[in-house]
């Protein structure tokens, strides 16, 4: 056996063990770029798992039925993100995958992650997205609070994406800090995880009447009761709750831990520790925006993403 230790321009070292002389185009697992060696190129797929025309370089995370990988597109020579779902683990896995692909393929907006393609390998289905180095808002909050201006900026562009999605009759239903991504280069906001998005006029919903889906702290009362019957104003509530978290570190209703009954009763009674109690130095006008977005009665919230976006724009002008 022969051992080769190559070094990429990014500084990463790549170790290859092969019985033959290395005459391959090796891919760096860190940055996804090629490390060329002398001699004619040969197939390197034996060093990496492959789906379609993509090499899977490393896992970026997993959850439930799916795992996301950093991949390398052999056609475009670009890094990509690939979400792979095992359809053998759940009878609804294929339908959920088809729904997610359908939703993503209908949405083309600079603040929504872009779908590049999809396919199937055996019992696994996958779709390919742009790979964007960066971090989620949840990651940011683990290290500290953004400024008021930064929090409003993130909420504004989240709403811009939702305004577009709502115009296509798509409700996200799981807006939260972990599903809002900030790119590393220019901190562009990108909405992630449309796996439970709902087509407003879809009669073939995968959600049963009375079923609850979403993340409890960021869910409107009506979504808590029945996720199938929500409209776009549930997303507006979730943006308000996410803004609440960005401004004070705590999600609304955090005082109840993860006790579903207590959280439900607090939502029903519209009783929780408010933003000003959590962080008294937040401008009152910003608090007003959050409170209106999080109104218990959907009719008392901002009625469109555009309306809330305009309210946030006014606040940005005063705090920046």
Which residues form the catalytic set?
Answer: 174
Euclidean distance between CA atoms 118 and 54, whole angstroms: 11
Question: How many other C-beta atoms are found inside a 10 Å radius of the C-beta of residue 229?
Answer: 14
Which residues are 6's β-sheet partners?
A: 14
- Of the candidates 58, 167, 183, the one whose C-alpha atom is nearest the C-alpha of residue 111 is 183
SS3 232: coil
Euclidean distance between CA atoms 164 and 160, whole angstroms: 6
* Beta strands, E only, the chain: 2-7, 13-18, 25-27, 34-36, 49-51, 54-63, 66-73, 78-86, 115-121, 124-130, 134-136, 170-171, 180-183, 189-191, 198-199
- Among all chains, which residue has been given the structure tokens 């053998």? 88
Q: Which helix (H) or strand (E) holds 103?
A: helix 93-106
Q: Which helix (H) or strand (E) holds 263?
A: helix 260-269
Euclidean distance between CA atoms 164 and 153, whole angstroms: 17
Q: Is 83 annotated as a binding residue?
A: yes
Euclidean distance between CA atoms 176 and 192, whole angstroms: 10
Residues flagged as binding site for ATP: 83
Binding residues: 83
């Amino acid at each position: 056996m022969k051992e080769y230790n190559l070094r990429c321009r990014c500084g990463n070292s790549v170790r290859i063990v092969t019985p033959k002389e290395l005459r391959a185009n090796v891919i760096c697992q860190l940055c996804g770029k090629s490390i060329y060696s002398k001699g004619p190129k040969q197939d390197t797929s034996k060093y990496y798992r492959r789906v379609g025309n993509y090499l899977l370089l490393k896992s970026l995370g997993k959850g439930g039925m799916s795992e996301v990988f950093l991949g390398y597109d052999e056609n475009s020579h670009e890094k990509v993100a690939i979400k792979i779902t095992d359809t053998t683990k759940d009878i609804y896995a294929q339908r959920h995958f088809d729904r997610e692909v359908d939703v993503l393929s209908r949405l083309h907006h600079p603040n929504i992650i872009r779908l590049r393609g999809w396919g199937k390998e055996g019992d696994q289905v996958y779709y390919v997205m742009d790979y964007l180095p960066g971090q989620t808002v949840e990651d940011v909050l683990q290290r500290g609070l953004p400024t008021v201006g930064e929090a409003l900026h993130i909420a504004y562009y989240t709403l811009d994406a939702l305004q577009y999605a709502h115009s296509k009759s798509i409700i996200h239903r799981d807006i939260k800090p972990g599903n809002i991504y900030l790119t590393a280069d220019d901190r562009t906001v990108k909405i992630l995880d449309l796996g439970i998005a709902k087509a407003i006029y879809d009669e073939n919903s995968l959600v049963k009447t009375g079923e609850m889906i979403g993340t409890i702290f960021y869910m409107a009362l009506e979504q808590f009761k029945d996720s199938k019957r929500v409209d776009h104003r549930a997303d507006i509530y979730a943006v308000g709750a996410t803004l609440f978290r960005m401004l004070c570190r705590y999600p609304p209703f955090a005082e109840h831990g993860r006790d579903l009954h207590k959280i439900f009763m607090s939502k029903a009674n519209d009783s929780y520790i408010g933003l000003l109690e959590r962080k008294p130095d937040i401008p009152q006008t910003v608090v007003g925006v959050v409170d209106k977005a999080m109104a218990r009665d959907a009719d008392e919230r901002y009625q469109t993403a555009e309306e809330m976006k305009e309210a946030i724009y006014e606040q940005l002008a005063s705090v920046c």
